[in-house]
Structure 1
Amino acid sequence: MKYIIPAIIILLVIAIFAFIIRRKHNSEISRLEHEKHQIQNKPILEEMTKVKQLNMNGQTEEMFEGWRNTWTEVMDVHMPKIDVLLFDAEETVDRFLFLKASKVEREIQTLISLCDVKMSGILKELEELIGSEEKNRIEMEQLKEQHRAARKTLLAHQYSFGEAVPALERKLESFIPHFEEFDNLTETGNYLSAREIVMAVQDEGQKFFHKLHVIPTILTEIQHKIPATIHELRNGQKEMEESSYYLQHLEMTKKLDAIEIELVDLKAAIVELEVAKSITRVEEIKDEIETFYDLLEKEVLAKKYVDNYKDQTAHRLREVTSVTRAISEEAAFVQQSYRLPEKEAEIPQSCLKELEELEKKFELLSTRVEEERSAYSSLQEELNEIAEEIDRLYDEQDRFANRLKNLRIDENHAREKLEELKNLLHDTDRMLQKANIPGIPEEMDIRLEEAEEHIYVAMQSLQEVPLNMTLVDNYLEKAEACMEEVHKRAKEMLENVLLTEKIIQYGNRYRATHPTMHARLLEAEEAFRQLRYAKALEDAATAVEEVEPGALKKIEVLIKETAWRT
């Protein structure tokens, strides 16, 4: 009994598994059968019926026969074979011969795929042929219409095309054989070959119709507009030269002659229907001509500028020269009282020399204006350069003049500053003398003497004649830095003395109970008496902090509060 139940379970599992696989194979057979029906239902016959409406000759007839043979093969040979295999597959599945069923299914799939490729290929070729016929007919009719319109345009407006008419007519005639060839191919059913003719004619037609459109415009430019513009430029050049303008540097006559010669070549190219390069070159020529107009306008504006600003520049040159001479005289007077750096002292004379050179340049420019042998654009540039140099020299003189005016101000400022430093030295010394301290350390005395010496040197430099303010400022800067440092250190020293006294007073409460601290405080007091205030502060602070951490901060706060109340 114990073996029967497991055997039954195993049999049930096998049966279930078999039915699942069988169901899977049945689904696959149904799918294959559905694919077969889809292939059978492809509208091959309907599309082939449409082809019969075309000219059944040549390519069309050959292709039609090929499609019909292929379709017959698929429907009469492959499809019956697929039906037999489908029946075999169903039978093997019913008999649970799944491996054999899989092999049959693969064979069916191969046949179906082959038939699908053949039938799809027929449909694609049918679509291409039918589409080609319709597309050919529409596009060729459009091309013929464009050809007729082009012929009418050429006949109606021959004057616009000038000498290009014969070439255009020949090109129009060259399309007719293509049209005839297309008609013949269509009549004989060679629609695909006819398609190639259409595409070739379209390409040629596009180029030709473009030329037909642009040739009148480009010929108008070459034969009328550009020559008229050149004539206008020549007249303008002549009138300006008669009005004292110098234009030889532009070489307009030479360049315009070259353009006129080139226009003949461009016209010849247009006559031969070489349009693309001609269009590009015509645009370049128009740009060149526009440049000539700009250059002539530049000369007109330059003449106006020179006429308006030449006298003004001359007046400005005389004015700055006069100012420079006055500053030179003032500098000579000031140098009796003040010593100037050599390079700075040479500024007035150097500027006078440069102004003399500018006067020569201006005289030469005035001569060239009178001779009328120079381009006004060049004269304008030179006049601008002279004006800019005049302004530069004026600015340099102005800065120098301000420097002279500031010398007396700088001297007074230096004397005031020295007086302040002397007072600060006196106050610092008095502050140290009045302080309740055992004495002033030797280092502080040395620093005070050093500051006093710097102040004395600065004062002596102010007694020199002529006065060298650069040297005075240098000495004054050193004296100020030294004095400020001394005053700062003196204040710090007195603050440290006060802090040391307060720390020792605060530490007295621990002397009896802390012998070590008592000894350290004695060392601090001895250093204090020896005027070693920094050492005394360090020893006293260390001794108290060891007994009462944070005591130093309390003492500092107490000192600040006392000072604030005071």
Structure 2
Amino acid sequence: MLNVIVGIIVIVVIIYIAIVLYQKTLLKQGKAMEAELNRLQKLDLPEQLTKVKKLVLTGDSLTRLETAERDYEQVRQSQFPQIAQDLTAAEQAGKGLNFLKTRDDIDNAHAELESAAKTLDQVQATLVNLQKMEQKHQQAVVELQTNYQKLRTTLLNDNSAYGPALDALEQQLSAIEAQFAEFTTLTQQGDHQKAEKLLVDLKDATTKLEQQMRAIPELYQLNHVQFVNQLMEIKSSYAKAKAEGFCFANDEFPATLQELHEAVQANLENIKHLDLDVVRDQDQVISEQINALYDQLEAEMKARLYVDKHAPVIAQFIQHAHRQNQALGAELEKLSHNYSLEHEEQATATGLGDQIDLINQKYQDDQQQITDQRAVYSQIANDLKQFQQDLTKIEEKQRALNASIADFSAEEQRAHQVLDDLTTELHAIRRRIDNLNLPGIPADYAEYFDVVANEVQHLKATMNKVKISMDDVQKQLTQIQHDRDTLQTKTNDLIDQAALAEQVIQYANRYAATNPAVASAIQTAQHQFDDDYQYEASLATIANALDQAEPGAFNRIEENYYKNKAQAN
């Protein structure tokens, strides 16, 4: 039981301490709000109200001032006392344990204080705004009046720079000055809210007028002077060019000049009505078309200079190409009696001649146009450039064709010399075989030798024809030289195999009496050598048997043979 009582006492003490601490917190908040209330009460709003009330205000501006004054008085006379009362009540309640009453009084004071602070901020902002607006409008009156006077002076002194736009500009300036007079009246009357709205329109209108006055002199000069002078210059240059024999492809100069003149006049009308965006767009179009006419005139004049300079050069080039082709044709005709022309050389030369004739015909047509004063020089200049390219390609083909036939005679002489050399080589090969005094020649070797000999005879027959095909001669020479090389290899193999077979048989005889296998091999190898003329097989038979009787003997004999052969050569 005692423990329960002690527990209850502890809880009561804790609650009491909590209430005391909470009360202190509330009272601390109350002190802070009391300080804020004092700050708000000391604001210099009465002085600001007095100062603003001295201004001459009417309309919405006066309404705003009156509203601000009522709001301030409401705060001063009602909310401030109520806040003070709530804070006093909270302080009294805080001396006891009625923390609920203290909390309610603090909350009420806090809400009233926030409302009062917000209202006073709005009042102060309104007063500042009215003062600034009044100063702004007074200053604007002076600045705008000065600015309009400058604009008026500019229009008066430089009226010629604005051309047909002068009347519209003066009308705009008069309208702006009328708005300015209204703005000045509103400012003097103190209706700054209406004056502010009008000031925005005034500034926009003034800025627009200033921009137009800056832009129009250049636009007017461009259309009234520059474009007109350029069109007159182009018209004069065109007439002079026509008199000097110039012609123009798709000649639309007269119509284009008329259209441009009308466009310039229309643009002056646009300037008169201050449609400056339209003027700028049209200026771009007109400028581009004028430049195109200038470019066309300049192109034809440059083209004539090019034609005058290069036409004689092309004429000489055509004559040169024609002479070259005639000489090439004559040479081909001469060669055709002795050689077969198998790569359409004559057809190629004829085709090149046809191309030269076509170029010459076109060149003559262009020259006739110049004589008849019908020439479009830019087109003729392009023709001359194309002629240059085509004639250069023709000349390259002529050189290549001439090079391909220039060595026919020399190739024939070289072919005769190679043929003689081949005949001599075949005789030398025959002598090498005969000098061996072999019992006979293998059939396959004899057959291959006859093939090469027949090829040589066939080439001789080809070379002795009235009209030689050098392609056929070169093909036969290539084949014969290849077969000759193979025959040389076969000949060397035949000589080496026969000589080695004789030496190995002779060496193996030392084993004939004691080694039946060697004796039998000697008989077989000798038969292959003497009767069948199979010297390679004979060598293989006796070499295998000797290696069985005396390993390494054949290798020694073979190495010694090739060593002596190399020394002999």
Shorter-normalised TM range: 0.5 to 0.7
2:198 matched residue in structure 1: 197
Q: How does 1:116-195 map to 2 (within 5 A)?
A: 116-195=117-196
1:386-431 superposed Cα distances (whole Å, 9 cap, x missing partner): 222222333444455556679999x999x99xx9xxxxxxxxxxxx
2:524 matched residue in structure 1: none
The alignment status of 1:466 with 2:469, answered yes or no, reads: yes
Q: Is the 8 A contact 1:129 1:192 kept in 2?
A: no
The change in CA–CA distance for 1:355 and 1:111 in structure 2 (over 3 A counts) is farther
Distance 1:33 1:397 in 2: 116
2:221 matched residue in structure 1: 220
Distance 1:234 1:155 in 2: 36
Amino acid at match of 1:199: V
Deviation at 1:355, TM superposition (A): 2.2
Q: Is the 8 A contact 2:263 2:286 kept in 1?
A: no
Q: Is the 8 A contact 1:247 1:375 kept in 2?
A: yes
Amino acid at match of 1:257: Q
The count of corresponding residues between Structure 1 and Structure 2 is: 450
Distance 1:179 1:384 in 2: 71
Distance 1:372 1:261 in 2: 31
Distance 1:91 1:406 in 2: 136
Distance 2:286 2:387 in 1: 37
The change in CA–CA distance for 1:404 and 1:187 in structure 2 (over 3 A counts) is same
1:251 matched residue in structure 2: 252
Distance 1:197 1:460 in 2: 121
1:94-148 superposed Cα distances (whole Å, 9 cap, x missing partner): 6566676666555444433333332222233333322222222223322222222
The alignment status of 1:277 with 2:251, answered yes or no, reads: no
Amino acid at match of 2:395: Y
Distance 1:31 1:346 in 2: 118
The change in CA–CA distance for 1:227 and 1:28 in structure 2 (over 3 A counts) is same
Q: How does 1:420-431 map to 2 (within 5 A)?
A: none
2:76 matched residue in structure 1: 75
The change in CA–CA distance for 1:181 and 1:330 in structure 2 (over 3 A counts) is same
Q: Is the 8 A contact 2:65 2:126 kept in 1?
A: no
The alignment status of 1:52 with 2:56, answered yes or no, reads: no
Deviation at 1:199, TM superposition (A): 1.4
Deviation at 1:41, TM superposition (A): 4.9
Amino acid at match of 2:362: K
Q: Is the 8 A contact 2:148 2:177 kept in 1?
A: no
Ranges in structure 1 where 5+ consecutive residues have no aligned partner: 420-451, 484-528, 530-566
Q: Is the 8 A contact 1:328 1:348 kept in 2?
A: yes
Larger displacement relative to structure 2 (6-15 or 32-41): 6-15
The change in CA–CA distance for 1:243 and 1:80 in structure 2 (over 3 A counts) is same
Distance 2:180 2:12 in 1: 81
The change in CA–CA distance for 1:339 and 1:169 in structure 2 (over 3 A counts) is same
1:336-391 superposed Cα distances (whole Å, 9 cap, x missing partner): 7687556x885433333222221221111111122111321122122222222222
Distance 1:112 1:459 in 2: 133
Amino acid at match of 1:52: K
2:63 matched residue in structure 1: 62
1:47-94 superposed Cα distances (whole Å, 9 cap, x missing partner): 323322321333332211100111111222223323333345556666
Q: How does 1:201-212 map to 2 (within 5 A)?
A: 201-212=202-213
1:488 matched residue in structure 2: none
Q: Is the 8 A contact 2:183 2:198 kept in 1?
A: yes
Could you state the TM-score of these two structures normalised by the residue count of structure 2?
A: 0.64
1:308 matched residue in structure 2: 309
Q: How does 1:512-551 map to 2 (within 5 A)?
A: none
Quick check: which has more Rg, 1 or 2?
2
Could you state the TM-score of these two structures normalised by the residue count of structure 1?
A: 0.65
The change in CA–CA distance for 1:176 and 1:326 in structure 2 (over 3 A counts) is same
Distance 2:210 2:298 in 1: 41
2:261 matched residue in structure 1: 260
The change in CA–CA distance for 1:363 and 1:128 in structure 2 (over 3 A counts) is same
1:233-255 superposed Cα distances (whole Å, 9 cap, x missing partner): 22222222222222474422222
Amino acid at match of 1:370: T
The change in CA–CA distance for 1:58 and 1:321 in structure 2 (over 3 A counts) is same
Q: Is the 8 A contact 1:461 1:468 kept in 2?
A: no
1:543 matched residue in structure 2: none
The change in CA–CA distance for 1:39 and 1:288 in structure 2 (over 3 A counts) is farther
The alignment status of 1:299 with 2:300, answered yes or no, reads: yes
Larger displacement relative to structure 2 (235-244 or 460-469): 460-469
Ranges in structure 2 where 5+ consecutive residues have no aligned partner: 422-448, 463-467, 487-539, 541-569
Amino acid at match of 2:185: N
Distance 1:205 1:401 in 2: 85
1:432 matched residue in structure 2: none
Larger displacement relative to structure 2 (20-29 or 58-67): 20-29
The change in CA–CA distance for 1:185 and 1:327 in structure 2 (over 3 A counts) is same
Q: Is the 8 A contact 1:461 1:471 kept in 2?
A: no
Larger displacement relative to structure 2 (3-12 or 366-375): 3-12
2:372 matched residue in structure 1: 371
1:544 matched residue in structure 2: none
Q: Is the 8 A contact 1:60 1:191 kept in 2?
A: yes
Deviation at 1:296, TM superposition (A): 1.3
Q: Secondary structure at the match of 1:303?
A: helix
Q: Is the 8 A contact 1:338 1:469 kept in 2?
A: no
The change in CA–CA distance for 1:46 and 1:326 in structure 2 (over 3 A counts) is farther
Q: Is the 8 A contact 1:320 1:394 kept in 2?
A: yes
Q: How does 1:382-531 map to 2 (within 5 A)?
A: 382-400=383-401, 466-468=469-471
Larger displacement relative to structure 2 (294-303 or 14-23): 14-23
1:261-297 superposed Cα distances (whole Å, 9 cap, x missing partner): 3333333333333333224423532343233222211
1:286-338 superposed Cα distances (whole Å, 9 cap, x missing partner): 34323322221111111000000011112122223333444556667788768
Q: Is the 8 A contact 1:57 1:189 kept in 2?
A: yes
The alignment status of 1:356 with 2:357, answered yes or no, reads: yes
- Output the aligned Cα RMSD: 5.0
Deviation at 1:190, TM superposition (A): 0.7
2:432 matched residue in structure 1: none
